[in-house]
C-alpha cells in the first residue's frame, strides 16, 4: 500500500508562489489516494481516502511502513491553508480546527510517551494570524483536536514545509 496526496496537474507549483499581497493562485483540489499493489500480478488498485488536503502527517515514529488509522493535514477550505484536520482513514471521518483569519502550516504529531494509543499526543502547527501580522505555535490535543495552548511570537514566522519534532538530548 502507498498513500499519497495526488493532483490532477502541476498547477500546484504556481499556486504555492506568493505575490506581493497574496498567493498567486488558489490551491488546486487534491485527493488522499491509497494505491494497493499486488506484488504477484502487478495489478494496481486505488481508492480515495479524503480530499482537499496537503502536508499530511502520521505518527511516523511508530507507524511508518505500517498500517495507521490517523492522519493530520492542512486544508484550504476558503482561503490559503485555513484549517488543520484529523482524518480517521478507517471510517473516513474528519475533525477540523480553524480560527478566523488564521493560516496554519504543516501539522506535526508528537506522541505521548508511554502509551500505544495512536492518537495520544499533541499536534503542533505554526499559525499566522493575518490581521495581527503575527504567528503562534498552536498546540492541539491529537485525540479531541481541541486547542490546548498557543505560544505567540512577536512577529510573523515565514511559512515552511516539512517540519520535524525531534526529542532533545
**Model confidence at 165: pLDDT above 60:** no
Residue ranges with strand state E in 13-111? 31-37, 44-51, 54-57, 70-75, 83-88, 93-97, 102-104, 108-111
Distance CA 70, CA 95 (A): 11
Q: pLDDT at position 68, please?
A: 95
| Contacts by 155-163, CB closer than 8 A, 24 or more apart | 156/128, 157/126, 157/128, 159/103, 159/105, 159/126, 159/128, 160/105, 160/106, 160/126, 161/55, 161/105, 161/106, 162/55, 162/106, 163/105, 163/106, 163/108, 163/126
Look at residue 3 and give its three-state secondary structure: strand
Q: pLDDT at position 61, please?
A: 86
Taking only the tens place, the pLDDT of each residue in 122-148 is: 999 999 998 899 999 999 999 999 999
Taking only the tens place, the pLDDT of each residue in 26-40 is: 778 899 999 999 999
Look at residue 77 and give its three-state secondary structure: coil
Confidence tier at 163 by pLDDT (50, 70, 90): low
Confidence tier at 160 by pLDDT (50, 70, 90): low
Distance CA 100, CA 85 (A): 15
Q: pLDDT at position 67, please?
A: 92
Tell me the pLDDT of the chain averaged across its residues. Answer: 88
For residue 124 the three cell numbers come to 503542533
Structure pTM?
A: 0.85
Amino acid at each position: 500500500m502507498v498513500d499519497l496526496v495526488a493532483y490532477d496537474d502541476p498547477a500546484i507549483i504556481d499556486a504555492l508562489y506568493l505575490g506581493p499581497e497574496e498567493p498567486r493562485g488558489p490551491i488546486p483540489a487534491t485527493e488522499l489516494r491509497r494505491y494497493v499493489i499486488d506484488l504477484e500480478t502487478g495489478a494496481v488498485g486505488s481508492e480515495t481516502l479524503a480530499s482537499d488536503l496537503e502536508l499530511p502527517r502520521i505518527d511516523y515514529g511508530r507507524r511508518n511502513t505500517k498500517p495507521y488509522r490517523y492522519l493530520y493535514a492542512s486544508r484550504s477550505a476558503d482561503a490559503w491553508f485555513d484549517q488543520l484536520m484529523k482524518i480517521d482513514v478507517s471510517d473516513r471521518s474528519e475533525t477540523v480546527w480553524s480560527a478566523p483569519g488564521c493560516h496554519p502550516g504543516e501539522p506535526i504529531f508528537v506522541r505521548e510517551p508511554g502509551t500505544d494509543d495512536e492518537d495520544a499526543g499533541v499536534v503542533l502547527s505554526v499559525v499566522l494570524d493575518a490581521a495581527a501580522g503575527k504567528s503562534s505555535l498552536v498546540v492541539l490535543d491529537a485525540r479531541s483536536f481541541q486547542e490546548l495552548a498557543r505560544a505567540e511570537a512577536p512577529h510573523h514566522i515565514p511559512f515552511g514545509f516539512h517540519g520535524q519534532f525531534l526529542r532533545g538530548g
